[in-house]
Chains A and B, each alone.
Chain A
Amino acid sequence: MEKQTYNNAVVRWIDDRLPIFSFMDHEYNQFPMPKNLNYWWNFGALATVVLVAMIVTGIVLAMHYTPHTSMAFDSVEHIMRDVNYGWLIRYIHANGASMFFIVVYIHIFRGLYYGSYKAPRELLWMIGVVILLLMMATAFMGYVLPWGQMSFWGAKVITNLFSAIPLVGESVVEWLWGGYTVDNATLNRFYSLHYLLPFVIVGVVVLHIAALHVTGSNNPDGIDMKGPQDSVPFNPYFTAKDSVGLGVFLLIWAAFVFYAPDYLGHPENYIEANPLVTPPHIVPEWYFLPFYAILRAITFDVWFIEAKLMGVLLMFASILVLFILPWLDTSKVRSCRYRPIYKWFFWVLLIDCVVLGWVGANKPEGMFPLIGLIGTGYYFFHFLILLPILGKIETPLPLPTSISESVTRRSGAPAGATAATGGNA
């Protein structure tokens, strides 16, 4: 890292001893970014903003919340009714969880479409999958805290997954609960971990960004930067571009917070937890629905594996498969722009995930179990069979020679030029 010389004596004094100013200048101000990034590259920055907002509002909520089964529900209502701006802070936090998942899911599908998981960014991608897992754990435990009916029964059902583990399952579940059911001990530990995990996420995000700054960003053409003509400095170019996305994103978030704050939640959760009465229809939050569908997909024993265990295994496998994705995809070309066949399968996968979510939202009756089974099958088919084979047999389109050439071509070319329409299928 080249040292800067600063005019301000205090800045210079600090920078000589701890080069934070040089570091920021190098990694943020001047950091070279591919100049062809589109708005789908906003979502990493947006996720960072949501993470910070969630931690800030979360710390504030913790000042008023009481993690005890007899007081948790009322303390949340105390926040909603009595604490100054409590309703606002809680609605920001509750809807923020949904916003976080929307942003991160788009971020992930952007990576899938443009091949951002491919060499040399495999580790960057894998760290991202770790962040997703941590987010899911944090969100799950956070949803338990208001101690409504869905909190309680969601917690009970999901922790019971672990009872599917052969031999030690029951003991593991008792250990998770700290008792014979989800109770005060469970609520307390979930509260503790819900406060801790976001800071772990911050740590892993730092690693994610550090890894990103080793390889630099991927881009819509999926080709490497060849020189300064291909790049622009992060600031002001991407400060400005990310800010536009942030403005739009905050508008969407605000629309939910102020005009549909409970739309993404479930009415049952405004009923205090009752261990003796199960709600007629238990569903997780929308961001877990596809996984919930996979969990319920298997209704028959497979060889010696019970249906219950199989469902649990598949649900975890659906995320774990992402870890080995960089090696499952055998194509030499990163971006779907230049993969005429895979491009279509990307959309099929996306639709498959939405369908799985739809199945997850409905009772397992009628045609839903079958759709769930097919959807689950396709999900694994896509990653484990399609991707390895497709990379071998697909003939990619010719890649542009450089990013700057691609930019000139795309902005200058008449509408309808095939390569230029990219993913606008």
Chain B
Amino acid sequence: MKKALILGLVACSLMAAPVQAAEDAEAPKSVDWSFDGIFGHYDRASLQRGMQVYKEVCAACHGMRLLAYRNLMDLGYSEAQVKAFASQYEVQNEDPNDEGEMFNRPALPSDRFVSPFPNEQAARASNGGALPPDLSLIVKARAGGADYIYSVLSGYAEAPKDLKKPDTLHYNPYFPGQLIAMPPPLTEGAVEYADGTKATVDQLSYDVTNFLTWASSPKLEAQKSTGFKVVLFLLVFTGLLIAVKKKVWSAVH
């Protein structure tokens, strides 16, 4: 009975696996991420580079409304750096001034990231009818996760000759449907990295995907290190419980 039930459970869990990216897209490239595995952690240098890519390239169209500027301290920036970073943006104050008028002020670390467009309609109007999605949760919100995001960013290619393609769309074999409204966002040297890393398309894609993964799962490091302790504890505890059970039942068997 045991074997069969375990088989059944395995079958159930396979069945429950997230449906892979649409069938008409290529399987995402498999990348060896630093945040994978039991001791997964973020590569801080890559996160900082990725943030630079987001700020200088993606942020023109994509918001990250769930992130606050203070969150950037997780990336290894000091409070002063974060304050300076935030103050480049303007937000509307929560309360009106004494004349009852709403007014803008420089953003503070406690403010959420300012989105490039005030609403969906404005975003579509500026992007030929397509909506650039908010990126706060993009890695969690796409089947294939980080691998998929990386593949789409680095996977633009020349369209096959026989493909009928409207001019507003771009060929990307990793995108479901293979036609994507976003023009290739990353080009070699699109960003000048402060640390001197060579900004190839693969490097840019890798860094910004790291950053986006962090944005989706900012607590991943705590999650994995806590998990290791919890599992270790439970192994010891279960071992003890097995010993207790054996001792208790020894008289009956």
**A, B in one complex:** yes
Across-interface contacts of A255 in B (CB, < 8 A):
227, 231
Partner of A81, one of B1, B141, B219: B219
Partner of A422, one of B1, B3, B234: B1
Across-interface contacts of A257 in B (CB, < 8 A):
227
Partner of B142, one of A267, A351, A424: A267
Smallest beta-carbon distance B91→chain A, Å:
17
A247 touches B230 (CB 8 A): no
**Across the A-B interface, the 4 shortest Cβ-Cβ residue pairs:** A258-B227, A247-B238, A423-B1, A286-B16
Across-interface contacts of B249 in A (CB, < 8 A):
237, 240-241
Number of interface residues of B (CB under 8 A): 50
Smallest beta-carbon distance B138→chain A, Å:
8
Q: Is B80 an interface residue (CB 8 A)?
A: no
Q: Is B160 an interface residue (CB 8 A)?
A: no
Smallest beta-carbon distance A166→chain B, Å:
34
Q: Is A275 an interface residue (CB 8 A)?
A: no
Q: Is A25 an interface residue (CB 8 A)?
A: no
Partner of B15, one of A250, A347, A357: A357
A-B contact pairs, 12 of them (CB 8 A): A81-B66, A87-B223, A251-B234, A258-B228, A263-B17, A270-B141, A347-B4, A351-B8, A361-B16, A407-B252, A411-B253, A424-B3
Whole-angstrom CA separation of A280 from B143 in the bound complex: 13
* Chain A residue nearest in CB terms to B21: A267
The stretch from B81-89, B121-129, B239-247 touching chain A is B239-247
A254 touches B231 (CB 8 A): yes
Partner of A258, one of B133, B216, B223: B223
Across-interface contacts of B223 in A (CB, < 8 A):
87-88, 91, 258, 261
A240 touches B248 (CB 8 A): yes
Q: Is B41 an interface residue (CB 8 A)?
A: no
A354 touches B38 (CB 8 A): no
B8 touches A258 (CB 8 A): no
Given A102-B9, A254-B231, A267-B142, A240:B238 Cβ within 8 A: no
A80 touches B224 (CB 8 A): no
* Chain A residue nearest in CB terms to B248: A240
Whole-angstrom CA separation of A258 from B238 in the bound complex: 18
